[in-house]
Amino acid sequence: MTDQSINPAIFTWDGPHGLPRFGAIRDEDFKSAFDRALEAHNAEIDGIANNPEAPTFANTITALEIAGDELSRVSALFWNKAGADTNDTIQHLEREISPAMSRHYSAIGQNEPLFKRIDALWENREALGLTNEELRVLERHWKGFVKSGAKLPKDRQQRLAAINEALSSLGTNFGQNVLADEKNWFLLLSTEDELAGLPDFVRDAMAAAAAARGETGKYAVTLSRSIIEPFLTFSNRRDLREQAFSAWSARGENPGPTDNREIIAETVALRAEKAGLLGYPHYAALKLDNTMAKTAENVNALLMQVWEKARRRALEEEADLARIIAEEGRNHAVAPWDWRHYAEKLRSRTYNFSESELKPYLQLEKIIEACFAVAERLFGVRAVRRSDVAGYHPDVRVYEIRDAGDTLVALFMGDYFARASKRSGAWMSAFQSQHRLPLKNGAKGEIPIIYNVCNFAKPAAGSPALLSIDDARTLFHEFGHGLHGMLSNVTYPSVSGTSVSRDFVELPSQLYEHWLTVPEILKTYALHYETGAPMPEELLQKVLAARTFNAGFNTVEFTSSALVDMAFHTRPAGGDPMVLTADVLAEIGMPSSITMRHRTPHFAHVFSGDGYSAGYYSYMWSEVLDADAFDAFMETGNPFNAETASRLKENIYSVGGSIDPEDAYKAFRGKLPSPEAMLKKKGLAA
């Protein structure tokens, strides 16, 4: 391999403010770039491990923190492409790169001379005069090596490395299978009878989806949440709702090459074996070791406390829906493909407004403005659009994030519209994390380059994108994650931004959602897309009153998924994963009218990689925190109270993982919360 085989644009980011020149990078460039980056990182690791000088924090830990710059850059570019704009070439390479990266990091984690240096520092940590952040960084490296098998005998190290490699491949295949099922299924409609009940905004989104598939003049129901959910909500055709829901529900469970059930069984078994090798009773114990929850018992206690209240409420809601069905002269029970449809009718009846009445006031452009405006009022940062700067896809918008003194503190990209090449859901990630360390290229530190990915239905040319209230919350949620990355103010990259425990990482994002429904924000930014008129006060009050509507359904959807996740990672592995799923749902009394928010065969949070495995509960754990945190503002009488916002920025959004999350929260709030504020927010308090 020669340097001529390498595209320098992958490693040298010389676009505006140090952005990559995305247009100069081809899919075919990644393979050789990974080869070079892996080789370069190995050389750096060898240099650190075999340094003849005695280990110090600087020559070992700091050196590890800045090593692998080229690998970080090619990885950031590649995994962004794999998630947000993939194709056959990228997917083929992903199946090759995932196990290669696993092998690479297993070898580092089991590098004996390197671990000896880290272990020596850890054993002598009290005498090193480290700052609190440095101690956290040292602890993170030491624990990471231990969990990579650094203390295991050689044969167990080899088995652990093989397990990690296999899990990496399984996670890649799982995600690609779900994407294939989502991409390949759509339901074409054309007659007025088939479209009965669908408002114009749903028809417009379906028409755009059909046109994107070469079916101009028709209407496509796709498995993008921004189309399937409104279709299930408004369609009068029960047979079509059932057909669409069945396809949505069956992602990853269709017989053939995209069937994920075997992958799940193998994944669960390998995770259990991995936990055993490392001395843990089950995989959840391994994953919860460094979290606020600490144990599976604590997690399940919270989930079951909420489950009982949510299930009771959901059964009451189901009875209300059944009455509407009976009033219409129908004799069927409430099925999962009925719930959204009749819940919308119930909401319209109870609160005298419908989603179709609300949606014209929720323009994507104005909700983006609202996100930015809240950030400026709370944290003193503003977003400046750079229409002249290209993102990684034509739909991507690029922004400078500047502070009150007009200093550039971050770059932000928004990628908002669904496309067949993008995996479903919404997420935040980073091309580059904030830190202050001097680098080998002479730079001192780096600013964060953060992006949000959503899957809103793309409107026809010339038409505005209109959001549901849930879509708008999603946008605020992901921008909350984005702010966690962009406001980071730490020295070391491994504790930057969202590098916190899994059950703390959702606090900044879920907390930020609260400002969407602050009346002042809705009055200012919820403007009718045709008239520009603000949302009428009467409608605003109805929206605020309905915030806990359907709370039983929403909480049952989530909590059942979290309980199944914990069961997979605490119970003995083996057997059909769908049988275990059914057993858990039977044990907790899952209503037949509701399904898990993420059914097991497409539960990407848990099986498409390791991110939220034994960790899906963390949304609820963080929700306990976010409800209490927002109360801190409301107790002042001002949702933008400057002193509270300053404490929030200083102790939560800017510190990353540089201090313990419990200490961070108590520094902000003075205490740890109980679940009561969360239950009250959901409308489930006794």
Fill in the DSSP letter of residue 533: P
Contact (CB, 8 A) for 178 and 260: yes
Dihedral sign for Cα 76, 82, 84, 88, please: positive
| Radius of gyration from C-alpha coordinates of the chain | 25
Q: Which two tokens stand for residue 581?
A: 């799923």
CA pair distance 603, 361, nearest whole angstrom:
32
Bridge-based pairing state of the strands 408-417 and 449-456: parallel
The span from the CA of 540 to the CA of 351, in Å, is: 11
Q: What is the largest CA-CA distance in the chain?
A: 84
User: Which of 485, 246, 233, 516 has its CA nearest to residue 368?
Assistant: 516
Angle at 516 between CA 512 and CA 520, to 5 degrees: 120
Encoded tokens for 569: 């990672």
Contact 467, 369 (CB under 8 A): no
* CA–CA dist 97, 304 (Å, integer): 40
> Six-digit token pair at 397?
């918008």
Let me know: does 145 contact 120? Beta carbons within 8 Å: no
Q: What is the DSSP letter of 449?
A: E
**Gap between the Cα atoms of 262 and 526, Å rounded:** 47
Active site residue 357: no
List of E strands, 531-685: none
Q: What single letter denotes the amino acid at residue 331? A: N
Contact call for residues 147 and 274 (beta carbons, < 8 A): no
Give the active site residue among 194, 344, 478, 513. Answer: 478
Q: CA of 513: how far to CAs of 198, 211, 477, 517, 667, in Å?
A: 28, 33, 5, 8, 22
Local structure of 34: helix, strand or coil = helix
Q: Would you please indicate which residues are annotated as catalytic (active-site) residues?
A: 478
